[in-house]
């Protein structure tokens, strides 16, 4: 596990979603918006730059240890050495931070898979600061597929 001391500013924007917070009528996000999970599952039909831009704009579920237990949605303020985030190994053997795409859907299909949400751009910035992580693994909420984004690509995206 990695200490999140280096990302104190980013953690101040994290939100804790308890249990079954999301209802079925929230799944469309207000229309016919293509979900990240659909784009990952069908990524051979999309330009990678479109998918990456969408990832930067959206929210993702993440696992963060040592969050306070609450019964409502709250903003979490971080203190030094208070939070940690697990590192996983992807199918290519890279050490990555797992991120749950489309957290509203993910929470329904895989309850208790994450306990906080982060904006994609902030998640990328955080990843660059964690030396143990080689990138992110964006996991689909609707299929057993994922999309890895490694640090070289993350740096390129954040410079645009």
Per-residue pLDDT of the chain (160 residues; tens, 9 = 90+): 444 443 334 434 444 343 333 333 344 444 445 588 888 988 888 788 889 999 999 999 998 877 666 555 545 555 555 677 889 999 999 999 999 999 988 888 888 888 888 899 999 998 998 889 999 999 999 888 999 999 999 999 999 8
Query: Which pair of structure tokens corresponds to residue 108?
Result: 């329904």
Query: pTM of the predicted model, to two decimals?
Result: 0.73
Q: Where are the domains of the chain?
A: 2-21+32-159
CA distances from 84 to 4, 10, 79, 118, 131 (A): 5, 13, 11, 14, 14
Q: Is the dihedral of CA 137, 140, 146, 152 positive or negative?
A: negative
DSSP state of 150: E
């Amino acid at each position: 596990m990695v200490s999140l001391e280096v990302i104190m500013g980013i953690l101040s924007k994290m939100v804790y979603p308890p249990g079954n917070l999301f209802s079925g009528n929230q799944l469309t996000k207000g229309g016919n918006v293509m979900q990240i999970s659909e784009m990952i599952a069908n990524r051979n039909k999309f330009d990678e730059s479109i998918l990456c831009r969408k990832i930067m704009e959206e929210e993702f579920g993440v696992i963060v240890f040592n969050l306070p237990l609450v019964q409502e949605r709250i903003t979490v303020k971080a203190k030094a050495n208070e939070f940690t985030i697990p590192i996983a190994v992807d199918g290519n053997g890279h050490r990555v931070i797992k991120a749950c795409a489309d957290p509203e859907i993910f929470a329904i299909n895989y309850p208790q898979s994450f306990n906080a949400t982060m904006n994609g751009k902030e998640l990328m910035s955080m990843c660059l600061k964690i030396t143990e992580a080689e990138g992110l693994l964006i996991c689909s909420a609707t299929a057993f597929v994922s999309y890895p984004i490694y640090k070289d690509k993350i740096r390129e995206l954040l410079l645009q």
